[in-house]
Amino acid sequence: MTDQSATQQQTEQHQRHTLVALVENKPGVLNRIASLFRRRNFNIDSLTVGRTHKPHVSRMTIVVDSAQANPNLIAANLLKLVNVIEVRVISGEPHVSRDLALIKVRSDDPESRNAVTELCERYPARIVDIGTKVAIVEIASQESIVEALIEELRPIGIVEMVRTGVVAMGRGTRIQDTEYEPPVKIKQNSNGYQRFSV
């Protein structure tokens, strides 16, 4: 990424919105959501999905470019999906968001090793693997901080990188949960999916 595009990305960040969706943990739900975004031409910046403390509910954090679509309209469209239990646009209210990145950088000389170590002290990052050629830096923080670290690591030499995308949660008593319990028993089917037999 050039410096110019990095700056551009910084300014665009103001136009992003974060939506949190609670969905039924059923096969095909991710496909339904991805299909909706494609069909309606909503641009996804990042989408993460994972389990919650309730086995029948999954939680998605979706970051969208709101210059292209009104986040409330996206939320209304998501809610039309039968398997989507609840959606909230949380970017307008106090919330905590985290993006996790693993960044593999060159560490084949003392200068690069020192530079990486020094950065890990300044940032909420740590070295989770180091060898004679490369090191893996881990950071889990707000997206903007992750991006700042990436820019500082870039001159040292990034050779590989992976990011999870943003996960987010409202602060304080802004609790997003569902009362919903699946009717009756949980079965395990042959595909390894958890199925809810009704």
Partner 1 sequence: MQLTGAEIIMECLLREGVEVMFGYPGGAILPTYDAMTKYPQIHHVLVRHEQGASHMADGYARATGKVGVAIATSGPGATNLVTGLATAIMDSSPVVAITGQVARGSIGTDAFQETDVTGVTLPVTKHNYLVADVDELAYVIREAFYIARTGRPGPVLIDVPKDVQIEKTEFVYPEGDIRLPGYRPPQEAPADQIAAAIELINRAERPVILAGHGILMGRAMNELRELAERAGIPVALTLLGKGAMPEKHPLVMGMMGMHGAAACNYAIQEADLLIALGMRFDDRVTGNLKTYALNARKIHIDIDPSEINKNVKVDVGIAGDVRTVVAQLLPHVEVRQHPDWLARIRDWQEDADERDILHHDTGERLLGAQVINDLWKFTGGEAITVTDVGQHQMLEAQYYPHQRPATMITSGGLGTMGFGLPAAIGAKFGRPDEEVWAIVGDGGFQMTMCELATAAQENVDINIAILNNGFLGMVRQWQEFFYEERYHATPMFNPDFCKLAEAFGVPAMRVTSRSQIEESVAFARSVKGPALVEYVIEKEEIVYPMVPAGADLHNMIRRPKPGEVIQR
**Strand, helix or coil for residue 59:** strand
Pairing, β 186-188 against β 95-106: unpaired
Stretch that binds partner 1, among 12-20, 30-38, 96-104, 167-175 (CB under 8 A): 30-38
Longest dimension (CA), the chain: 62
Does the footprint of partner 1 cover residue 24 (CB under 8 A)?
Answer: yes
Does the footprint of partner 1 cover residue 77 (CB under 8 A)?
Answer: yes
Stretch that binds partner 1, among 98-106, 142-150, 166-174, 177-185 (CB under 8 A): 177-185
Does the footprint of partner 1 cover residue 32 (CB under 8 A)?
Answer: yes
Stretch that binds partner 1, among 6-14, 22-30, 151-159, 167-175 (CB under 8 A): 22-30
For residues 14 and 39, which CB has a smaller minimum distance to partner 1 in the complex?
Answer: 39
Opening angle at CA 83, ends 78 and 87, nearest 5:
40
Q: What is the distance between the alpha carbons of residues 9 and 165, in angstroms, rounded to a whole number?
A: 15
Q: What is the distance between the alpha carbons of residues 84 and 103, in angstroms, rounded to a whole number?
A: 34
Question: Which one of residues 47, 62, 85, 139 is an interface residue with partner 1 (CB under 8 A)?
Answer: 85
Separation in Å, CA 151 to CA 34, 122, 154, 161: 30, 14, 5, 12
Does the footprint of partner 1 cover residue 186 (CB under 8 A)?
Answer: no
Does the footprint of partner 1 cover residue 79 (CB under 8 A)?
Answer: yes
Smallest distance, Å, CB 56 to partner 1? 9
The b/e string for 24-56 (b: 16+ C-beta within 10 A; e otherwise) is: bbbeebeeebeebbeeeebeebbbbbeeeeeeb
Does the footprint of partner 1 cover residue 197 (CB under 8 A)?
Answer: yes
Interface positions with partner 1 (CB under 8 A): 23-24, 28, 31-32, 35, 39, 70, 72-73, 76-77, 79-86, 178, 180, 183, 187, 189-190, 195, 197-198
